[in-house]
Amino acid sequence: MAISMYQISVPVFVKTLANLAAILDKAAAFAAAKKVDPSVLLAYRLAPDMFNLTRQVQIAADHAKRAPARLAGIEPPVYEDNEASFADLKARIDKTITFINTLKQGQIEGSEAREITLKIGGVSQTLTGQTYLLHNALPNFFFHVTAAYAILRHCGVDIGKKDFIGQI
């Protein structure tokens, strides 16, 4: 059975970004209830060499917009990386979902063998569309969403596995 490049990309990115937005809502409510300056949560990181919450969300959104765009053979939008609040991060997620939803199934289907060239560590690497999606884009996306979740969970935000996975 052939894999549907559209089905394993666009709906997965959209659903997980929506779950991340809901998690950010819970984080904002937590900050307000506990009288914690939201900037503390936004700047929090789990390890000194790890990106903070804001950057984790930005990178997750970047992977979610770039992967389907590359599979469709188009340029993704460029964002400024200037988010400074939960509302800003949610707006970034919203515009990412809006962009992803403009892509039609026919633009992405058949991209399994499309050559995708990336610069990884300053070195160009060419992958097939399927290898890129399954072994680069999706793992990176979920890594950064998971890191954002873990940061907020560590800070005491009342979130759990159901928040991460959402409704099936």
Single pTM value for the model: 0.96
Measured between alpha carbons, how far is 27 from 19 in angstroms, rounded to an integer?
12
Helices (H), the chain: 10-34, 38-43, 53-72, 86-102, 105-108, 129-132, 138-154, 161-165
Rounded distance, CA 106 to CA 5, Å? 10
Partnered with residue 129 across adjacent β-strands are none
Per the CB < 8 A criterion, the answer to whether 5 and 109 are in contact is yes
DSSP summary character for residue 111: G
**Per CATH, which fold does 10-165 belong to?**
Four Helix Bundle (Hemerythrin (Met), subunit A) (1.20.120)
What are residue 123's phi and psi, to 5 degrees? Answer: -110, 130
Phi, psi of 167 (to 5 degrees): -75, 135
Instruction: Enter the tokens of residue 39.
Output: 């900037």
pLDDT digit string (tens) for the chain, length 168 residues: 577 999 999 999 999 999 999 999 999 999 999 999 999 999 999 999 999 999 999 999 999 999 999 999 999 999 999 999 999 999 999 999 999 999 999 999 999 999 999 988 899 999 999 999 999 999 999 999 999 999 999 999 999 999 999 988
CA–CA dist 158, 79 (Å, integer)? 30
CA–CA distances in Å: residue 81 to residues 46, 56, 91, 124, 137: 21, 11, 12, 24, 19
* Domain segments of the chain as ranges: 10-165
